Amino acid sequence: MSYKIAVASSDGENINETFGSTEKFIIYEVAGGSYEKFEERFYQEESDADQNRCNNSDKCRNSDGCGSGCGGKGGNSSKVELISDCRAVVCKKIGFHIQKQLERKAISFFDVSCTVKEALDKITAYYSRIDNHEPLRK
């Protein structure tokens, strides 16, 4: 079973972007215990999707997609939509509202400051144990 992990990194080396401020996510695909860069997805502010979803609420008009608005029913930020096919997202920091939106979509989030490699190694090892019903005990 393969799955995707979204990483918020500007240089591809370190996890150095917060969920709110990142302009792109690097998507890695994990299959059979190893991971590979799949693509980069760029986020455009005030995307059409965001407009449509928020047009009935003034409060949401200026949503910047980092969790300040659109917290209500069905009001996921377009940034969350951008990575909605991923199993997890890794970034430096993440806001509370976005956490809730991700939880609703069963996407895990890891707010860590380390290299992309370290994060992906640890996360894929963790998922591999869970998926194969192996104990987490080291």
Partner 1 sequence: MAKLLDKQRYKCALGAMQTVQAITRAIPVLHSGPGCAQKLSDSIGSSGYFSPNIFPCTSINEKDVVFGGAKKLDTTIANALKVIDADLYVVLTGCIPEIVGDDTAEVVSHFEDSEKPVIYASTAGFKGNNYKGHEQIIDAIIDQYLEKSEVKEKGLVNIWADVPYQDLFWLGNIRELEKLIAGLGLTPNTIFGYQRGIKNIDRIPKAEFNLLVSPWVSVGNMKKMEKKLGIPYLHYPTLPIGAFETSKFLREVGKFAGVDKEKIENIINDHENYYYYLIERYADMFLETRVMAKQFSVVADAQYALGITKFLVNDLGLVPAKQFVTDDTPKAFQEQIRKDFENLNYGLKAEVGFETDGYKIHQEIQSHDYHGYPLILGSYYEKELTEKMFGHFLNISWPVQDKVVLDDFYVGYTGGIRLIEDIYSVAVQRWN
Q: Does 126 bind partner 1 (CB under 8 A)?
A: yes
Q: In sequence order, what E strands does the chain have?
A: 3-7, 24-31, 34-42, 88-91, 108-111
Q: Does 38 bind partner 1 (CB under 8 A)?
A: no
Q: Does 138 bind partner 1 (CB under 8 A)?
A: yes
Residues 82-111 close enough to bind partner 1 by CB under 8 A: 108-111
Cβ at position 42, least distance to partner 1 in Å: 26
Q: Does 133 bind partner 1 (CB under 8 A)?
A: no
Provide the β-strand partners of residue 68.
none
| 123/63 Cα distance (integer angstroms) | 31
Record the tokens describing residue 117, joined without a space.
């490699």
Cβ at position 103, least distance to partner 1 in Å: 11
Cβ at position 106, least distance to partner 1 in Å: 12
Cβ atoms of 127 and 87 closer than 8 Å: yes
Cβ at position 129, least distance to partner 1 in Å: 10
In Å, the largest CA–CA distance within the chain is 51
Q: Does 24 bind partner 1 (CB under 8 A)?
A: no
Cβ at position 136, least distance to partner 1 in Å: 5
- The H or E element containing residue 16 is none
* Cβ neighbours of residue 51 closer than 8 Å, sequence gap 6 or more: none
Kindly indicate which of the ranges 13-21, 38-46, 48-56, 119-127 contains the residues binding partner 1, using the contact rule CB under 8 A: 119-127
Residues in the chain: 138
Query: What is the binding site for partner 1 (CB under 8 A)?
Result: 108-112, 114, 119, 122-123, 126, 135-138
